[in-house]
């Protein structure tokens, strides 16, 4: 079933989206077949963190604004929640992730709950405290985490002509609900550009965005197009991505969706990738008031759980959580659950690779849009996008495969175990040959 990322968001249906055609394993010559495998023949794993930003606890400041719109639904005592999630916790969390190889997406809400601007000042904190917080994100988080806006405020819609929130506390003027459902791609793009430019002013890189709640849920074709154009406009990214939906139902595919590919035969290709989460918020809830359980991700005996289902399907297993629940009002319940999940995954699997959402997006764009054409015993490769650790399998058995790029052949080293794949290596058995290399943009050739 489709799972609402936060229990106060109304479910929104998926509109029609133009999927990029998948031609990677369709070849004119039936005697040679090519299959694109996962990067390094491993299963990508990632963690999406929503509702994070600099200093501000989004639950403390957001709940009263949501309660003004739906007073019967928001009765949490927000005054008891801390107003701040301190940088000391960001450092503790970031250092643990770095030491344990955990990667993913970390939101920075640009105008968090209308408190202030992360690129300039937030009342209640000194300018130095904000600058130090941004510096921590740049230096500690950015290497392993994509930075996303969650639109502008994650609460009230902002009039981008004035920079002021609209004065109407109704669903039609809240980012989480109705405002985005009827907007054109251009209107959504303008709003998203406004958010992205704040992050750029703050010195943060960005290749994608996260939707706040139900934002764009019934307007997904325009959401995809607007994401592609907004991120390209502000940051020049050829591959944009976004996170909007997650699915927790066993057997439901959560493979990334490569959308609106364009210019593939030219010098300026582009596309946008929809990243799908596979878990509910089972760490600590969006408000930091509902403890979760590691067993929903992976059971204590390692035999079941949503992560097990998805990993064994071979699709990227992307967990979803919210920053207030990771911190859990200083108790760190969500953080401790994450540590247990990571421990169990390591006990069960040796074939996982932690990746940022942008890395997954790039690989899937290359996987879906690269074409292969056999010539004699070779395969010509045309790639609109580069992709590190690109891994393919052919049904042919060879003794000395090579990758030829710009007229130069790269030597490949044979390995005895698939788990040892790395760029410029290959493995062969009776079923065929597996080759791993850094795919370059443009034309290259696999010499079999």
Same domain for 322 and 194: yes
Same domain for 241 and 176: yes
Same domain for 173 and 134: yes
pLDDT tens-digit map of 350-401: 999 999 999 999 999 999 999 999 887 799 999 999 999 999 999 988 888 9
Nearest to 256 by CA among 269, 268, 242: 242
pLDDT at 74: 97
Same domain for 183 and 288: yes
Same domain for 108 and 80: yes
Confirm whether 367 is domain-assigned.
Answer: no
pLDDT at 46: 99
Query: Counting every residue, how long is the chain?
Result: 448
d(CA 143, CA 301): 33
Nearest to 424 by CA among 433, 416, 377, 414: 414
Same domain for 397 and 378: yes
- Average pLDDT score, the chain: 93
Q: Is 417 buried (19+), middle (13-18) or exposed (0-12) by CB count in 10 A?
A: exposed
d(CA 406, CA 214): 47
pLDDT at 30: 53
* Segments forming the whole domain that contains residue 300: 42-362
Same domain for 415 and 385: yes
Same domain for 218 and 163: yes
Confirm whether 18 is domain-assigned.
Answer: no
The pLDDT of residue 254 is above 90: yes
Confirm whether 294 is domain-assigned.
Answer: yes
Same domain for 398 and 285: no
Mean pLDDT value across residues 33-50: 97
Same domain for 107 and 222: yes
Mean pLDDT value across residues 53-72: 98
For residue 31, name the pLDDT band (cuts at 50, 70, 90): confident
d(CA 368, CA 381): 13
Rounded (10°) CA dihedral 375, 380, 382, 383: 150
Same domain for 387 and 346: no
Same domain for 221 and 280: yes
């Amino acid at each position: 079933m489709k799972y609402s990322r936060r229990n106060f968001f109304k479910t929104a249906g998926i509109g029609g989206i133009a999927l990029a055609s998948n031609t990677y394993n369709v070849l004119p010559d039936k005697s040679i077949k090519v299959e694109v495998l996962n990067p390094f023949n491993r299963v990508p794993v990632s963690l999406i963190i929503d509702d994070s930003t600099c200093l501000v606890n989004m639950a403390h400041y957001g709940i009263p604004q949501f309660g003004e719109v739906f007073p019967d639904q928001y009765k949490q005592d927000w005054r008891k929640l801390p107003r701040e999630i301190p940088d000391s916790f960001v450092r503790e969390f970031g250092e643990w992730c770095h030491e344990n190889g955990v990667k993913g997406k970390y939101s920075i809400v640009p105008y968090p709950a209308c408190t202030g601007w992360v690129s300039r000042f937030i009342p209640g904190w000194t300018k130095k405290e904000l600058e130090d917080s941004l510096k921590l994100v740049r230096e500690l988080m950015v290497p392993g985490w994509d930075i996303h806006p969650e639109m502008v405020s994650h609460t009230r819609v902002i009039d981008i002509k004035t920079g002021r929130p609209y004065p109407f506390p109704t669903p039609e003027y809240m980012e989480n609900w109705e405002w985005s459902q009827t907007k054109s791609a251009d209107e959504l793009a303008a709003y998203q550009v406004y958010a992205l430019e704040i992050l750029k002013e703050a010195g943060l890189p960005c290749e994608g965005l996260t939707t706040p709640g139900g934002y764009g849920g019934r307007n997904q074709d325009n959401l995809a197009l607007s994401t592609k154009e907004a991120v390209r406009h502000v940051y020049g990214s050829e591959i944009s991505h976004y996170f909007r939906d997650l699915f927790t139902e066993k057997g439901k595919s959560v493979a990334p969706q490569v959308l609106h590919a364009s210019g593939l035969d030219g010098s300026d290709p582009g596309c946008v990738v929809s990243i799908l989460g596979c878990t509910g918020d089972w760490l600590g809830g969006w408000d930091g008031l509902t403890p979760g359980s590691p067993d929903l991700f992976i059971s204590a005996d390692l035999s079941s759980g949503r992560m097990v289902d998805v990993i064994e399907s071979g699709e990227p297993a992307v967990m979803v959580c919210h920053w207030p629940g990771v911190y859990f009002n200083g108790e760190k319940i969500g953080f401790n659950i994450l540590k247990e999940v990571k421990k169990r995954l390591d006990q069960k699997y040796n074939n996982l690779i932690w990746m940022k959402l942008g890395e997954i997006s790039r690989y899937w764009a290359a996987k879906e849009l690269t074409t292969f054409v056999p010539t004699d015993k070779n395969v010509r490769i045309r790639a609109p996008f580069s992709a590190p650790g690109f891994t393919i399998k052919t049904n042919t058995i060879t003794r000395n495969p090579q990758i030829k790029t710009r007229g130069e052949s790269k030597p490949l080293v044979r390995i005895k175990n698939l788990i040892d794949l790395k760029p410029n290596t290959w493995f062969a058995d009776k079923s065929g040959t597996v080759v791993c290399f850094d795919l370059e943009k443009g034309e290259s050739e696999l010499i079999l």
